[in-house]
Each structure stands twice: as C-alpha cells, then as structure tokens.
C-alpha cells in the first residue's frame, strides 16, 4: 500500500507546485494582472472568469482585465481551442484592443500562461473560473501544475507556443475537417 507524503516539498529553487485555489493567487493575481510587457496564454477553454476587486468593488471579468493590460501596452496573445463562452464573446465584441490578439486551434489541449517571458504556469488548468480556482472550494476543478522562472523550460514552451501561433503545424495537420481556416481569429 502506498502512503501519501504529508510533508512533500511543493517547490524547489526554480519550480513551484501549484494546485487547486493556489492557481488563482499564482497565475491570475500574481501573474497575469502584474504583467508589464507581454502575456502568452494557451488554453483549451476560455470563459469570462470573474476577478474580485479590492475594496469591495464589483468583480471584473478576465476579458476586462486583459483589455486593461492591453490598453497599458501589454501585448497579449491568447491561443485557445474552442469557442469562448457567450459572456466572453459579448465582451470581446465590444472592442478588441490592438494589443490583444486571439487565435483558435481546435486541436490545442495544452495549458500555459507565460508572463513577460520570465515566469510561467504549465499545467492542467484552463482559463476559466473553475480551472484557475476563482470558484469556491467545492466547485472548482482539481488542477495541478507548475510555476517556474526556469529560462530553459520557458524557452522550450515558448518555442512550442510560437510554432502553433505562427501556423507551422497547420501544414501537416490532418484535422482540417474541424479547422477549415488555419488559426482562425474569432468572428466578432
């Protein structure tokens, strides 16, 4: 019988284990919202997750948060697999800032968030409230991932991200039946 390691380390010098509600703290509030230069996101599912605001102000959606970042000059690339939730689409239709570019690859199942090419989340969580821990304890998904500042690991994931973003995998893709327009932009 295998017993759980109760005092197992959750981090090393360059990698931290992120699980459950820690996703929200590490990826959203400590990562995305603090970006200065760029944010690259790969997610299978994209919903208008709500982000609580300080001082009891009304929560804003992740779309509004990304818009604020883009308006400050942060370049954002969002690569996702499916159609965004209807709430996210409604908000995106209002205006897509020049610094926020969204592309769709139906085969994408990878999840990562890279902040300023210096820190990265790589794991199971989608860009949704249930995935990133914004939901209550009994409603959020059980998610695991890593947060790292390891340049070699970030560079390797960025290479994979850029390969998809630039459409270099489209030429050999055998799923054109579900993606007739390679790397389609959302029809807003």
Spatial contact of 92 and 101, defined as CB atoms under 8 Å apart: no
**What pTM did the predictor assign?**
0.87
Spatial contact of 148 and 64, defined as CB atoms under 8 Å apart: no
- Higher per-residue pLDDT: 183 or 121: 121
Mean pLDDT (whole number) for 12-19: 84
Q: Where are the alpha helices (DSSP H) in the chain?
A: 22-23, 62-71, 86-94, 151-165
Per-residue pLDDT at 142 exceeds 50: yes
**Predicted pLDDT of residue 96:** 76
Q: If you search the block for the tokens 């970030």, which residue do you land on?
A: 154
- What CA–CA distance (Å, rounded) separates 34 from 69? 9
**Predicted pLDDT of residue 5:** 45
Mean pLDDT (whole number) for 24-36: 93
Mean pLDDT (whole number) for 27-53: 92
Domains of the chain: 19-172 (3.30.870.10)
Mean pLDDT (whole number) for 120-128: 92
- What CA–CA distance (Å, rounded) separates 116 from 38? 5
- Kindly report, residue by residue over 165-177, the tens digit of the pLDDT: 998 888 888 887 8
């Amino acid at each position: 019988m295998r017993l759980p390691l109760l005092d197992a380390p959750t981090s090393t010098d360059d990698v931290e284990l992120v699980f459950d509600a820690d996703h929200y703290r590490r990826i959203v509030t400590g990562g995305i919202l603090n970006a200065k230069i760029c944010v690259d996101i790969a997610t299978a599912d994209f919903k208008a997750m709500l982000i609580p605001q300080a001082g009891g102000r009304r929560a804003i959606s992740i779309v509004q948060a990304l818009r604020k970042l883009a308006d400050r000059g942060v370049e954002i690339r969002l690569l996702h697999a499916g159609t965004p939730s209807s709430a996210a689409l409604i908000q995106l239709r209002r205006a897509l800032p020049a610094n926020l570019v969204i592309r769709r690859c139906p085969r994408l199942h990878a999840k990562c968030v890279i902040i300023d090419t210096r820190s990265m989340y790589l794991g199971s969580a989608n860009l949704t409230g249930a995935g990133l821990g914004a939901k209550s304890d009994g409603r959020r998904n059980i998610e695991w991932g890593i947060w790292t500042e390891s340049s070699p690991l970030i560079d390797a994931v960025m290479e994979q991200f850029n390969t998809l973003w630039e459409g270099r995998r489209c030429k050999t893709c055998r799923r054109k039946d579900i993606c007739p327009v390679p790397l389609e932009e959302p029809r807003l």
